[in-house]
Amino acid sequence: MENILLIGANGGIGSSIKKTLSSSYNLDSFGSEQLDLSNDNSVKNFILRKKQKYNHVIFSAGINNLIPYEKISKKSLIHTLEVNIINFLLLLPPLIKYNLDRSNSSIILISSLYSFFGRKNRLPYVISKHALNGACKTLAIELGKKNIRVNSISPGFIKTKLTEKNLSNKEVINIRKKIPLGDLGKPEDIANLT
């Protein structure tokens, strides 16, 4: 049975990935209470304690706090970038060196439709997801030589607590009208792609 490392197991998509994969794989999953991606010590301790070998790594962590661009502070911007991309990229080299079985390996990054588009009051999130997709493209080139596949999944509007927090009922109704199936996606739709 293959071993999978899931980072970001508490969110709507992450928890669905955990539920979907746990019956078919040895799943080692971490939420923010076990791995706080905004805390350098938490990241360093995580790197030092990992001994398990993994076939696949899934990165599903992310925060999206709405804020107008003129009110963005350096602290809030850095916080979003640390959680959504920077500290995962710092985790990768030791994970690849010590923990990734390269016989059949993959890294899957859960991105967002905002990796292609912008939206009002979401500048830190949009920047982080654009960066995540850029990282995916570069990592795929660099790690392909090591027999490691790197891909990203960029979901549209998914029924999660984060979506409910950031969209009004009116916005959800308008979005549903534009979706051919007439509704938002479900977290398990994304989990089934991993």
Catalytic residue positions, numbered: 125
Residue 109, beta-bridge partner list: 59, 152
Q: Are β-strands 56-59 and 26-30 bridged in parallel, bridged antiparallel, or unpaired?
A: unpaired
Nearest to 148 by CA among 54, 59, 47, 60: 54
End-to-end CA distance of the chain: 16
φ/ψ of residue 27, rounded to 5: -105, 125
Are 56 and 106 in contact by the 8 Å Cβ rule? The answer is: yes
One-letter amino acid identity for 165?
A: K
Using alpha carbons only, give the angle 138, 85, 167 rounded to the nearest 5 degrees: 120
Structure tokens at 108: 């899957």
Are 105 and 125 in contact by the 8 Å Cβ rule? The answer is: no
* Integer Cα distance of 149 and 86 in angstroms: 20
